[in-house]
Structure 1
């Protein structure tokens, strides 16, 4: 198993190089002049523009800019934003907020997917199962910004259960409303996977054998059937976690969450190559390691899975 983990960690290196190269090239190829765009309708003199170009190495060829950035990463120097802030400082301020939001949303989606998916499988074909299917389809079909505005109005403004915006209150308690919105927007797929997987498991011979040995339904369903049905759902949750880390921009904007999404969006508008590439690079590394943890979790869920070198 140790060799398997080491091999998966080494796979991060080409993924890291490929992601940074691709993202840096895409930012480099974006139309427009980021330095002139900083000053809006009142551009400075050409001398000032050229000085700023030299300061941010924008006067260098693409490969020189990329290698310079890559060398800075290995020295833990992620560059500076156009406003003069260190990118690593900005990342350290915003990344924990988005990470907390993503973790809370995944936990909410995970709990809903297990509870609703398992009960729908047990009561397959009943009114409850049909109702949960309709509700899941509604959450899949409704755009997240609509769900966010509805939740903000009713849960935040009208009923006052949560704060309608986050702002400086971005601890675990202040992120409940956007986390609930994101959790509801992504739970439906995992719920349907759990339901279908449990229905398939309950028809297996080994389940009938367990009942034949005298095991109660309260023992067979949660311990044997549900445990073996979680692998598709856990895989989907790993993908969902990565999606939430990079795709919560709209939700962060609506709820004024000072996270990565807002910062990354502003960086894209300003063509800030170091900020964009650094943020995306961190996302790639986190996503790879989350998938590694999910792969290792498979062995706990299904003892038949073994890791070979």
Structure 2
């Protein structure tokens, strides 16, 4: 187990270097002058533009800029935005908000997927099963911004159950409505995986053996059926969590959430290379860590899995 964990951690190094190099190159290759864009239509003297470029090391070749950035990362210095803010402070302010949103959405999606997916499997081909599958297909087909605007209008404006926008009220309770929006948008795939996995597990030999040994249903279902049915769903939700950390931009925009998505979007518009690459670097580390955690959960869910290499 320990050797496996160390091996996976070492695999983070080339992933980290490759991801940051690719993103930095893409930012570097973007058309336009980010410094000139700061002044809009009224351009300052060329000497001032050159001074600002030198301040942000934008006058250096690409590879020099990249290695300067890597050196800053190892010193925990993520650079400075074009507005003069420390990128590390911006990340510390916005990352926890998006993290809370993603965790809340994944927990809600997991509860829905386990409950509805397992019930659909136990009552296969019933009216409940068919209804839940149709609803899941609807959620898969409808874009998240449609679900977001609908939830915002119905539950925030018409019913008044929640605030239509989040703003500074970005605690766990304040993020419940946008998290629910993300949850119903991503749970459908996990629910269908849970259903199919549960149906397959119910027909396995060890389940029939457990019943044959006289074990009660309340023991067989949670221990022998649901536990072994979790693996596909855990993989899907783990991957989805990493995607939510990066791709919740639309939901954050709809509900005015001061998270990573909005900040990253503004940084892309301004060509702020330090902000973009710093955020992506954190995403890479989080995503790899989540995948490592998922791999380790496999061993807990299925005792047959052993980490020998």
Q: Equivalent residues in 2 for 1:87-102 (5 A)?
A: 87-102=87-102
Residue of structure 2 equivalent to 1:195: 195
Q: Deviations over 1:46-81 (max 9, x none)?
A: 111111111111111100110111111111111000
1:23 aligns with 2:16: no
Residue of structure 1 equivalent to 2:55: 55
In the TM superposition, structure 1's runs of 4+ consecutive aligned residues that sit over 4 Å from their partners are: none
Partners of 2:231 and 2:238 lie apart in 1 by 11
In the alignment of these two chains, the number of paired residues is 309
Report which stretch shifted further, 215-224 or 154-163. 215-224
Return 5+ residue gaps in structure 1 as ranges. none
Partners of 1:32 and 1:60 lie apart in 2 by 16
Q: Secondary structure at the match of 1:173?
A: coil
Q: Deviations over 1:251-284 (max 9, x none)?
A: 0001000000000000000000000000001000
Partners of 2:254 and 2:44 lie apart in 1 by 34
Q: Equivalent residues in 2 for 1:1-309 (5 A)?
A: 1-309=1-309
Partners of 1:42 and 1:93 lie apart in 2 by 32
Shift in Å at residue 177 of structure 1?
A: 0.5
Shift in Å at residue 308 of structure 1?
A: 1.2
Shift in Å at residue 146 of structure 1?
A: 0.4
Partners of 1:307 and 1:158 lie apart in 2 by 53
Q: CA RMSD in A?
A: 0.7
After TM superposition, the score normalised by the length of structure 1 is 0.99
Partners of 2:219 and 2:43 lie apart in 1 by 72
Shift in Å at residue 178 of structure 1?
A: 0.5
Partners of 1:216 and 1:128 lie apart in 2 by 25
Partners of 2:227 and 2:162 lie apart in 1 by 34
Return 5+ residue gaps in structure 2 as ranges. none
